[in-house]
Amino acid sequence: MNIAAVCGSFHKEEIERMLEYAQDEASIKGVKISQILWVPGSMEAPLALERILKNGEVDAAITLGIIERGETQHGLVMGQAVTKAIIELQIKYNKPIGLGIIGPGAEKHHIEPRLEPHARSAVNAVIKMSK
């Protein structure tokens, strides 16, 4: 099983750690993260996922990112739009996408404890849904 990872670079240090956890989980489960694509942030993830899934080289994808709480509702709206687009891509291509996006509404103290579980859960979700 080949999995692609789409990673938001807005919080690059944290997402690099998430990617390490995801790669470790994939290795434990005997699958491979065969492609890694960095995008500016979570908002760009659906387009990158569309491009990856339509080329047929991967069986599934994960997306890793963080949508922080801001002073306005921008993050909430963005999180809802991104999640909806990801669900639609799963259905369109009949390929699972693991949602490893922390937030929306994440505050600084929410991020660290969620890095590992969100990354590992994204990998496990696509493995389970690929069977």
Domain ranges of the chain: 2-129
Examine the residue annotation and report whether 74 is marked as an active-site residue of this protein.
Answer: yes
List per-residue pLDDT tens for the chain, 131 residues long: 999 999 999 999 999 999 999 999 999 999 999 999 999 999 999 999 999 999 888 999 999 999 988 778 878 888 999 999 999 999 999 999 999 999 888 889 999 999 999 999 999 999 999 97
Sign of CA dihedral 76, 77, 82, 87: positive
The active-site residue, picked from 11, 74, 109, 118, is 74
pTM for this entry: 0.94
Enumerate residues 6+ apart whose C-beta is below 8 A from 87. none
Q: Is the dihedral of CA 16, 96, 46, 52 positive or negative?
A: positive
Token duo for residue 1:
């099983």
Find tokens 């080289």 and name the residue: 57
Q: Which residues pair with 38 in a beta bridge?
A: 7
CATH topology of domain 2-129: Rossmann fold (3.40.50)
